[in-house]
């Protein structure tokens, strides 16, 4: 594996680091003592169940919320973002699951939204629509997305394609850190595969990627580092070579909680009509409960 | 073969089929103003058939004038609707603009241009207030501008009575600068029996600028975005609140132009006028293909909407029908247009499948 070599020269490539970060909403502690380091060319996965604090974490990284405790550094410099724009200016782009794009706008308008390109002759006032169309087509092609008609509303693309366009957009506009919020949550198996392919394409382009997901299978396919969140706290932080998929799945599913759950769900001592109607799905569920969750 | 595979294949086949259709035709079918264009043609043909005077050259001037007084406001109102907001104060703001201009000039016995400039400042201030309130309070624009609408309606009457003692302003036609203001806002040119009023030029000018801004500038891209999905727009760095405020300033500007026209063509202004016109502007925008929920529409469409309004309001008179039915017709038109827009939107979202 080239992992070691990569780690060595990546040591100085630290893009961002969170150190003991916490956040409260009123009296509710949404997040406490979370640490995370991201280097260039690395995919760092953040895993957790619903309500584990994943969204709070991205909102802090992407500049939508302030953190209350700990430190957040970008390129070694402590930061406190007031808006997503400021984070963007530091090269931190976020692709949200549901608000990545404006559905009724053409693909090329979405691609350039917020970073529109003007004609030089008109002092940048007039949009250079043809150049923007061509650039969109090229940038998408470079990421391996073949889209002939960039004039169609982006809402007509599939969920996976939309995510891919949003990722290609972030890469094109010079993002150094890409934060992906549950990019595969609403997608089928095939579509998820496509999106994960573009995630690795972004990594190969030298970006650091924070991948938020609750699907350990998807995370393990691409991740270099895994951070587990549970009820707002860090429940584990492992580099890839220290953890296997099975262990990750178990930890993700709640470790001891799962054992308890499996005990509760177990059939009551065979025979007899104790359970009426269809039994509680039988032993396959308890063996691999993760299969239930992320399916679209 | 599994279901996803089949679906994917199906999509591929359909994609290939769609590619065969000429791109120009596909694009035309997805245009927001297509419905308005067809409706305008139908309305024209109907009145051309039933009302003989409708086809005279002089009638064209009358129809264009009626259309322009709606169209001037329909341009900024449609931009605002594409940006996802309403402005119920637009109708009375026109009256406010005319009243302010007249009273400032009269009370200070100033050159009428002073009133004109103060009036612009006032209408822009009202527009800015609407936008600021919207951004600050996050209330729906329906409520915010309903408030401004009522306040302006009251202030128009109250201030006019306080200043002039009556509900209308004093004549200002003998004042300095009136002639040049009249030339700019209310003159007319007659070419071969066709009388074109100044409002028509203003309308065409605003139309050209409005559609250019919407389709060819960065700001236009932002208008579509804040109306289509404000949260997504904010996430990629679009200044949502400022974009909306700028759109309200546009409405203020339109109200100023139309207000000056009313003042300099009729000399005096009735302070109770303008109520209800805001809905006609919205109707024109909707007939022109603007989605009530924002994010989709066209400025050119709003002009077609205004033209339909002009043809119908004058055509009914030429046809010697009872003009009471005009509003009924307008309402039916609005419902049809809204239904059509919803259909076009669904098509656009689903794509050419």
pLDDT for residue A5: 46
By the 8 A CB rule, do B203 and B261 touch? no
B33 in a domain, yes or no? no
Q: What is the ipTM of this complex?
A: 0.77
Within 8 A by CB and 6+ apart from B123, the residues are: B93, B96, B97, B100, B252, B253, B255, B256, B259
Choose among B19, B234, B295: nearest Cβ to A84.
B234
By the 8 A CB rule, do B225 and B238 touch? yes
Task: Name the residue of chain B whose CA is nearest to A93's CA.
Answer: B236
pLDDT for residue B12: 45
Question: What is the number of domains present in chain B?
Answer: 1
pLDDT for residue A293: 42
- Closest chain B C-alpha to A190 CA, distance in angstroms: 8
What whole-number distance in Å separates Cα of residue A209 and Cα of residue A40?
Answer: 8
For chain A, the first-to-last Cα distance in angstroms comes to: 33
pLDDT for residue B262: 94
Beta strands in chain B (DSSP E): 188-191, 194-197
What CATH number belongs to A41-65+90-104+153-269+276-291? 3.40.50.300
Choose among B217, B222, B235: nearest Cβ to A94.
B235
**Higher-confidence position of B41 and B20:** B41
Choose among A116, A148, A156: nearest Cβ to B350.
A156
Residue tagged 């596909």 (tokens): B26
Residue ranges of chain A with per-residue pLDDT less than 50 = 1-10, 274-275, 277-296
Choose among A99, A104, A189: nearest Cβ to B231.
A99
What are the pLDDT digits (tens) for B240-294? 999 999 999 999 999 999 999 999 999 999 998 999 899 999 999 999 989 888 8
B30 in a domain, yes or no? no
Contacts of A155 in chain B (CB under 8 A): 348-349, 351
Q: A11: burial class by Cβ within 10 Å (0-12, 13-18, 19+)? A: exposed
Give yes or no for B23 touching A (CB within 8 A).
yes
Tell me the three state secondary structure of residue B85: coil
By the 8 A CB rule, do A58 and A76 touch? no
Test B224 with A105 for CB contact under 8 angstroms.
yes
B213 in a domain, yes or no? yes
Give yes or no for B220 touching A (CB within 8 A).
yes
Contacts of B297 in chain A (CB under 8 A): none
Band (B11; pLDDT cuts 50, 70, 90): very low
Average pLDDT over residues B151-173: 92
- Closest chain B C-alpha to A82 CA, distance in angstroms: 12
Percentage above 70 pLDDT, chain B = 90
User: Which residue range(s) make up the domain with B334?
Assistant: 53-348
Residue B302 has pLDDT above 50, yes or no: yes
Residue B210 has pLDDT above 80, yes or no: yes
State chain B's mean pLDDT as an integer: 87
Contacts of A84 in chain B (CB under 8 A): 234-237
pLDDT for residue B51: 87
Residue B101 has pLDDT above 80, yes or no: yes
What are the pLDDT digits (tens) for B214-248? 998 989 999 999 998 888 888 788 889 999 999 99
pLDDT for residue B329: 84
Residue B314 has pLDDT above 70, yes or no: yes
pLDDT for residue B184: 93
pLDDT for residue B23: 63
- Closest chain B C-alpha to A221 CA, distance in angstroms: 21
pLDDT for residue A254: 63
Helix or strand (DSSP H, E) at A277: none
Taking alpha carbons only, the member of B83, B6, B53, B63 closest to residue B308 is B63
By the 8 A CB rule, do A200 and A178 touch? no
Test B23 with A125 for CB contact under 8 angstroms.
no
What whole-number distance in Å separates Cα of residue B40 and Cα of residue B288?
Answer: 10
For chain B, the first-to-last Cα distance in angstroms comes to: 23
pLDDT for residue B68: 95
Average pLDDT over residues B92-110: 93
Helix or strand (DSSP H, E) at B95: helix B90-107
B5 in a domain, yes or no? no
Q: CATH number, domain at B59?
A: 1.10.3470
- Closest chain A C-alpha to B15 CA, distance in angstroms: 11
């Amino acid at each position: 594996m080239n992992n070691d070599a990569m780690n060595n020269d990546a040591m100085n490539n630290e893009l961002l680091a969170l150190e003991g970060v916490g956040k409260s909403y009123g009296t509710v502690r949404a997040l406490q003592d979370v640490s995370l380091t991201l280097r260039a060319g690395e995919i760092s996965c953040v895993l957790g169940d619903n309500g584990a604090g994943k969204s709070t974490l991205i909102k802090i990284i992407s500049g939508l919320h302030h953190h209350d405790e700990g430190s957040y550094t970008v390129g070694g410099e402590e930061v406190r973002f007031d808006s997503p724009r400021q984070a963007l200016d530091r090269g931190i782009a976020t692709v949200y699951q549901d608000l990545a794009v404006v559905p009724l706008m053409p693909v090329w308008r979405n691609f350039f939204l917020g970073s529109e390109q003007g004609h030089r002759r008109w002092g940048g006032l007039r949009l250079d629509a043809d150049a923007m169309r061509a650039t969109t087509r090229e940038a998408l092609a470079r990421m391996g997305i073949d889209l002939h008609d960039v004039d169609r509303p982006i809402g007509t693309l599939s969920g996976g394609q939309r995510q891919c366009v949003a990722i290609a957009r972030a890469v094109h506009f010079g993002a150094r850190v890409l934060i992906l919020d549950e990019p595969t949550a609403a997608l089928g198996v095939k579509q998820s595969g496509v999106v994960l392919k573009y995630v690795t394409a972004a990594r190969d382009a030298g970006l650091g990627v924070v991948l938020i997901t609750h699907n350990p299978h998807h995370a393990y396919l691409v991740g270099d580092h895994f951070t587990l969140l549970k009820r707002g706290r860090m429940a584990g932080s492992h580099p890839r070579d220290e953890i296997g998929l099975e262990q990750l799945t178990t930890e993700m599913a709640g470790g001891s909680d799962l054992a308890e759950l499996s005990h509760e769900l177990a059939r009551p001592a065979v025979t007899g009509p104790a359970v009426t109607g269809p039994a509680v799905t039988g032993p396959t569920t308890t063996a691999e409960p993760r299969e239930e969750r992320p399916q679209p | 073969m599994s279901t996803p595979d089949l679906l994917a294949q199906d999509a591929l086949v359909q994609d290939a089929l769609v590619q065969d259709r000429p791109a120009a035709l596909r694009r035309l079918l997805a245009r927001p103003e297509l419905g308005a264009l067809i409706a305008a043609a139908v309305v024209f043909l109907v009145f051309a058939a039933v009302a003989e005077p409708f086809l005279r050259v002089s009638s064209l001037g009358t129809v264009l004038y009626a259309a322009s007084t709606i169209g001037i406001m329909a341009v900024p109102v449609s931009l605002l609707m594409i940006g996802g907001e309403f402005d119920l104060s637009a109708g009375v703001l026109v009256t406010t603009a005319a009243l302010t201009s007249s009273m400032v000039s009269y009370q200070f016995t100033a050159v009428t241009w002073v009133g004109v400039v103060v009036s612009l400042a006032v209408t822009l201030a009202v527009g800015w207030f609407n936008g600021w309130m919207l951004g600050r309070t996050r209330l729906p624009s329906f409520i915010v501008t309903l408030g401004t609408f009522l306040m302006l309606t009251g202030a128009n009457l109250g201030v006019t009575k306080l200043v002039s003692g009556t509900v209308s302003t004093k004549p200002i036609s003998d004042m300095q600068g009136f002639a040049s203001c009249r030339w700019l806002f209310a003159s007319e040119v007659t070419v071969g029996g066709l009388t074109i009023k100044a409002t028509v030029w203003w309308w065409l000018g605003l139309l050209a600028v409005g559609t250019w801004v919407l389709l060819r500038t960065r700001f236009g891209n932002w208008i579509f975005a804040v109306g289509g999905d404000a949260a997504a727009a904010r996430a990629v760095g679009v200044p949502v609140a400022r974009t909306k405020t700028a759109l309200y300033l546009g409405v203020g500007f339109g109200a100023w132009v139309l207000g000056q026209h009313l003042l300099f063509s009729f000399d005096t202004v009735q302070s109770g006028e303008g109520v209800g016109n805001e809905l006609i502007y919205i109707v024109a925008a909707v007939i022109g293909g603007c989605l009530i929920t924002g994010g989709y529409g066209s400025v050119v469409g709003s002009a077609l909407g205004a033209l339909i309004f002009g043809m119908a309001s004058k055509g009914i008179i030429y046809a010697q029908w009872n003009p009471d039915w005009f509003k009924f017709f307008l309402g039916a038109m609005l419902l049809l247009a809204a239904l059509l827009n919803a259909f076009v939107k669904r098509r656009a979202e689903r794509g050419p499948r």
